[in-house]
């Protein structure tokens, strides 16, 4: 179908791996790592992040200039691209004042059925296992209780040096999950993946052709896939694109909603094989893994979880996960004590209530006042689920290659760019 380019963002707009809708932490067993005030609830400000959409996330429009035909529901325009072997197998160490990090991991990945809150029977350090925490949404309408696992740092740490590297890190994380289908990375392994993805991002930043195309160093997914950093590909026929709450905005009435996308994905058992999506929303990429018994969110940017969090995180949604709301039968009660969702469904509600709810509320109010453009709606409400698959046959060698630590000093990287 013929198409025209969507409206262009103004030159002064920039993109970054930041978020203005991070939820609030309520300490349960311990505070979120990196929170400067572990005993208090923290919130983000109300300021909005200036944002410039990459070509990969820009909405398509039909020839008459109107909104795209969102009834198509699935992503188009992608070429299924097979990727070559990993480019880097460096093991040079990086010093960091915050925490010791070893290139050779004494604790490897653990089996999903070994992933439990307590680790006494296995002899592993407790931080390499799931911990149960409670998270309160920014609007204080919902509370999530589920299993968390944290990396030693996140992409913006000095050790990783991946300021806007979320796209490359998501590709590295997705490839590792494909290569280790029965595993979830341990804390140290997760840190290695963040460093590897950040290093691949640095390599792209060092090439003039990419710097010209992306002055803000925030690469779109298609560019990173075609850069051959890992043997990974995207299958458009199984990918989705839609919006949060399109029914609340006249210009998005025909768009596929997030709930419609989720229903299709959760009902697609696919022979019970794990499905791994790279998710794009609000100028950030993270990974969603969907299995028969659990869903996982793997994110390299701690501030997306809560303000002040300085570590990448993995959330596990299984039968033990519970989301609480207010008990409307108790007049005036503000306590979040009534269970409203259980199990894997908490993953859907986490994305809606903890990541997107406040953004939707603000934009809905601005839209009623005629203060929001259709481009802003695309930028802030559009969500994409890119279905990924391993482009090469899995082998022990390819699996070990994906775990090879690639380290690069951010100071050296900046010197190379100057």
Domains in the chain: boundaries: 15-36+48-417
pLDDT given for residue 24 in this prediction? 59
SS3 196: helix
pLDDT digit string, tens, across residues 308-326? 999 999 999 999 999 999 9
pLDDT given for residue 268 in this prediction? 78
DSSP secondary structure string for all residues of 241-265: EEESSGGGSGGGTTSPBHHHHHHHH
Q: Which helix (H) or strand (E) holds 340?
A: strand 336-342
68, 72, 236 from 60: Cα distances, Å? 5, 11, 15
**Spans in the chain with pLDDT lower than 70:** 1-127, 269-272, 393-418
* Residue of 395, 403, 313, 397 whose CA lies nearest to 104: 403
Q: How far apart are CA 62 and CA 68, in angstroms?
A: 5
pLDDT given for residue 200 in this prediction? 97
Q: How far apart are CA 124 and CA 111, in angstroms?
A: 13
pLDDT given for residue 333 in this prediction? 85
SS3 213: helix
Q: In a 10 Å sphere around its CB, with 0-12 CB exposed, 13-18 middle and 19+ buried, how is residue 388 labelled?
A: buried
Beta bridge partners of 286: 279
Q: How far apart are CA 175 and CA 229, in angstroms?
A: 10
pLDDT given for residue 116 in this prediction? 36
Contact (Cβ atoms closer than 8 angstroms) between residue 401 and residue 189: no
The answer to whether the Cα torsion of 175, 176, 182, 187 is positive or negative is negative
pLDDT given for residue 32 in this prediction? 60
76, 104, 143 from 169: Cα distances, Å? 23, 20, 28
* Residue of 272, 275, 242 whose CA lies nearest to 259: 242
Q: What is the CA radius of gyration of the chain?
A: 21
pLDDT digit string, tens, across residues 103-120? 322 233 434 443 333 233
């Amino acid at each position: 179908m013929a198409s025209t380019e969507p409206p262009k963002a103004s030159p002064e707009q920039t993109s970054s791996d930041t978020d203005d809708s991070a939820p609030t932490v309520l300490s349960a067993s311990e505070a979120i790592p990196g929170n400067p005030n572990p005993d208090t609830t923290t919130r983000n400000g109300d300021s909005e992040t200036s944002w410039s959409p990459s070509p990969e996330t820009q909405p398509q429009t039909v020839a008459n200039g109107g909104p795209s035909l969102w009834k198509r529901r699935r992503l188009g325009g992608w070429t299924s691209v097979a990727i070559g072997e990993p480019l880097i197998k460096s093991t040079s160490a990086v010093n960091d004042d915050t925490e010791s990090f070893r290139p050779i991991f004494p604790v490897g990945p653990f089996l999903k059925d070994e992933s439990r809150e307590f680790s006494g029977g296995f002899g592993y350090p407790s931080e390499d296992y799931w911990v149960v925490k409670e998270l309160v949404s920014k609007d204080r309408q919902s509370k999530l209780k589920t299993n968390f696992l944290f990396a030693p740092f996140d992409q913006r740490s000095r050790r990783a040096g991946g300021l806007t590297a979320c796209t490359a890190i998501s590709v590295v994380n997705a490839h590792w999950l494909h290569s280790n289908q029965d595993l979830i990375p341990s804390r140290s392994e997760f840190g290695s993946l963040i460093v590897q993805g950040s290093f691949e991002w640095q390599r792209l930043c060092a090439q003039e052709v990419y710097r010209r195309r992306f002055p803000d160093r925030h690469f779109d997914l298609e560019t990173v896939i075609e850069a051959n950093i890992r043997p990974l590909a995207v299958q458009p026929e199984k990918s989705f694109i839609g919006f949060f709450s399109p029914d609340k905005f006249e210009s998005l009435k025909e768009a596929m909603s997030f709930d419609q996308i989720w229903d299709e994905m959760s009902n697609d058992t696919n022979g019970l094989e794990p499905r791994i999506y790279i998710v794009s929303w609000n100028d950030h990429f993270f990974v969603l893994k969907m299995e028969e018994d659990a869903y996982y969110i793997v994110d390299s940017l701690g501030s997306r979880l809560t303000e002040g969090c300085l570590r990448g995180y993995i959330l596990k949604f299984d039968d033990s996960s519970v989301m609480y709301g207010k008990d409307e039968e108790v007049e005036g009660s503000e306590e979040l004590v009534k269970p409203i969702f259980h199990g894997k469904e908490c993953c859907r509600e986490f994305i809606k209530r903890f990541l997107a709810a406040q953004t939707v509320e603000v934009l809905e109010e601005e839209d009623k006042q005629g203060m929001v453009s259709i481009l802003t709606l695309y930028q802030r409400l559009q969500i994409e689920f890119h279905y990924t698959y391993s482009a090469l046959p899995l082998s022990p060698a390819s699996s070990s290659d994906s775990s090879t630590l690639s380290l690069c000093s951010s100071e050296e990287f900046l010197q190379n760019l100057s």
